[in-house]
Amino acid sequence: MTINKTEKIHPSNGMVIRYKGLLDMDSLYKNVKLWFIKNKYDYFEKENTEKHKDVGINIKIRMKAQREIDDYVRFDLEVDMVEVLHYKKVEGGYYGEPRIVIRGFMILDYRNNWKLIPFLFYLYNNIILKNKILKYYWPKIFDEMMDLNDLIKKELGLIK
């Protein structure tokens, strides 16, 4: 296994959560944002749009968060709440069909200190630091990504 500058932690298209039923988008949004803050991530929104249609409101929210672990490694997490279709008020709350995608990345040498010496960058990642990357950094961001996944599923009522 060769370790590159940007390592994907998620499956190919990201971790996808689909749901159909009662939901509270405001609570979901606030709790995901609070999770980023609590875990010391720098959070920002790439997109937050709302389109009113005949069948309800179509919402699209794209969140991104970054945390510098040390001088060499940074974790990036993305949460895309796309296709929140038919979001409308019904008896007992709001009804919607969200599709939520979670992606995680481990960025090595995020300050580009090794950019001019790619061979040494390769040696450092794949020989000197490989054990620490695979046994410390990778499980750490994977656990954080799964914790965020659990929070979202709990908000949607998929797990108790």
Cα–Cα distance between 89 and 76 in angstroms, integer? Answer: 34
Query: CA distances (Å), 106 to each of 22, 35, 87, 136, 156, in order?
Result: 34, 18, 34, 12, 27
Taking only the tens of pLDDT, the chain with its 160 residues reads 788 899 999 888 899 999 988 888 889 999 999 999 999 999 999 998 888 877 777 889 999 999 999 999 999 999 999 877 776 777 777 788 889 999 999 999 999 988 888 899 999 999 999 999 999 999 999 999 999 999 999 999 888 6
Residue with tokens 């959560």: 17
Q: Look at residue 89 in the predicted model and tell me its pLDDT.
A: 73
Domain boundaries, the chain: 6-156
* pLDDT tens profile 116-137: 888 999 999 999 999 999 999 9
pTM surpassing 0.85?
yes
Judge residue 113's burial from the number of C-beta atoms within 10 Å of its C-beta, 0-12 exposed, 13-18 middle, 19 or more buried: exposed
Query: What phi and psi, each to the nearest 5 degrees, are found at residue 80?
Result: -110, 115
Q: Look at residue 11 in the predicted model and tell me its pLDDT.
A: 82
Measured over the CA atoms of residue 122, residue 127, residue 128 and residue 131, the dihedral's sign is positive
